[in-house]
Amino acid sequence: VNVGCGRAEQRLLLTGLHSVSDIFCQGCKTTLGWKYEQAFESSQKYKEGKFIIEVSHMVKENGWD
């Protein structure tokens, strides 16, 4: 609900070539990580549709428990 998704683009990651979309906070527009749209290697297909959230981009504000 509060996360947006950018356009898909191809990136060469450590595990090979993937089509990924950046995900971002709808409130502050901070990039939080990415979503795997397509994996080009058969051994990486399990990642499709999954998200990577980089903890270094998360900010905890008062009110989280």
| Phi, psi angle pair for 42, to nearest 5° | -60, -30
* Assessment of whether the complete model's pTM goes beyond 0.85: no
* Secondary structure (H, E, C), 7-40: EEEEEEECCEEEEEEEEEECCCCCEEEEEEEEEC
Chain segment 10-63, per-residue pLDDT in tens: 999 999 999 999 999 898 888 999 999 999 999 999 999 999 998 887 766 665
Amino acid at 29: K
DSSP reduced 3-state for 46: helix
According to the model, what pLDDT value does residue 63 have? 58
State the first-to-last Cα distance of the chain, in angstroms, to the nearest integer: 19
The domains of the chain are located at 3-56
